[in-house]
Chains A and B, each alone.
Chain A
């Protein structure tokens, strides 16, 4: 079976695969940044003393965490153009889906991170006369994010893998690019072995990095 394993086809398709990988990276990075920003806002809302806001944020989180990601991707692919009344391109609707979906998870991570900061630190900021928003920005969130670095990176690795789900709506990410080549050249084994190795190596490297970070900072 491995006798006629064709390395040449892998090398030849590398530029094409790289293009797909760029899409994967772009999706991952935008979803992480967007997810963290929206997730922070959601987390602060959930923690806020203003009950309606906390309730809305809580409902949002519960809703998205109860949905399979693949369903959310599908939905936005069909829904976003309908809502906007014009085609937006699959890539953007998928991007929106990822940001909204990931924000729910980041919200919970950030909420836990904020709660990991000792209440007396908040008192200390207040006692100096810092307003709530200043206290959050200068005292609480910097410490919270520092405590959260390992879990944020772990979530990023999961997200990187999850972006391959855009397969279902035909966005040309790394996996779909490989699939295209595989079908065109009838070289399924070569391409999917390559895909597996690439995902494995990148994610393993990420995990090892997180572990080292945890050890060196004793987080």
Chain B
């Protein structure tokens, strides 16, 4: 489904990604973790072409992201993305957030988009908030709306870029619950997160990054059982201590 092959990226002189390779099969849930600044967010943004990369290749469902002729808007519309800070559009209501791209990108009509949107809001437990504005919702609610907004496009895969990092602790679980349910429904997911509990529960594989390189790429049992690298060991011991 998602095939990342020897991807390298530089910001000027500084190399942020160094020959990163991994693949995510259909229905697979892959958690990407690592210390901050290790390039995880950059890598996940490369997958739908929000960030450009200079070397290597990424294909999603057979389409090369970096190729010149690729219609990026069309490709992106098939890949859902959830951001750290939710990024709901503050000037329109919750339901309009979910309807907008369905209408403008997929060409659905008002009624169909609204019906689909309300259904998804019900699924994330927020159908009563449909006509509120994003600012009237809590962080956890906003992130669930953001997930519903991405799902409304019927994506073939979902990318999560630290979806719970900006949330207060008591709101993290409501978002993770939605993600766990999504995973058990068979959604293909690439998730950048520090939530090791989530990784333990639903990840098929764990990718560990450090300084722009993929240091570990293994099943979760291997990763939590005995990570090979020293850096992954020290990262795990730090993050699991508390």
State which of B48, B88, B100, B104 has its C-beta within 8 Å of the C-beta of A127: B48
Kindly list chain A residues whose C-beta atoms are within 8 Å of the C-beta of B85. 120
Pair B104/A120 contact, Cβ less than 8 Å: no
For residue A131, CB closer than 8 A to chain B, the reply is yes
Kindly list chain A residues whose C-beta atoms are within 8 Å of the C-beta of B91. 142-143, 146
For residue A134, CB closer than 8 A to chain B, the reply is yes
For residue B105, CB closer than 8 A to chain A, the reply is yes
For residue B181, CB closer than 8 A to chain A, the reply is no
Interface string of A120-161 (1 = CB under 8 A from B): 110111111111001000110011001000000000000000
Q: Cα distance A124–B153 when bound, in Å?
A: 13
For residue B21, CB closer than 8 A to chain A, the reply is no
State which of B50, B74, B101, B150 has its C-beta within 8 Å of the C-beta of A123: B50
Indicate whether A121 sits within 8 Å of B101 (C-beta atoms), given known contacts A126-B50, A127-B76. Answer: no
Pair B105/A129 contact, Cβ less than 8 Å: yes
Q: Cα distance A189–B92 when bound, in Å?
A: 53
Chain A interface SS verdict (over half): helix
Determine the interface band of chain B, counting residues with CB < 8 A from chain A. Answer: 20 to 34
Pair A134/B104 contact, Cβ less than 8 Å: yes
Chain A nearest CB from B230 CB (Å) reads: 34
State which of A129, A142, A143 has its C-beta within 8 Å of the C-beta of B73: A129
State which of B50, B79, B89 has its C-beta within 8 Å of the C-beta of A121: B89
Given contacts A128-B150, A130-B73, 8 further A-B contacts (CB under 8 A): A120-B87, A123-B45, A124-B87, A127-B81, A128-B149, A129-B73, A130-B101, A131-B73
Can you pick out 25 interface pairs between chain A and chain B where the beta carbons lie within 8 Å of each other?
A120-B83, A120-B85, A121-B89, A124-B87, A126-B50, A126-B72, A127-B50, A127-B79, A127-B80, A128-B76, A128-B100, A128-B150, A128-B153, A129-B73, A129-B78, A129-B101, A130-B104, A131-B73, A138-B89, A138-B104, A139-B89, A142-B91, A143-B89, A143-B90, A146-B91
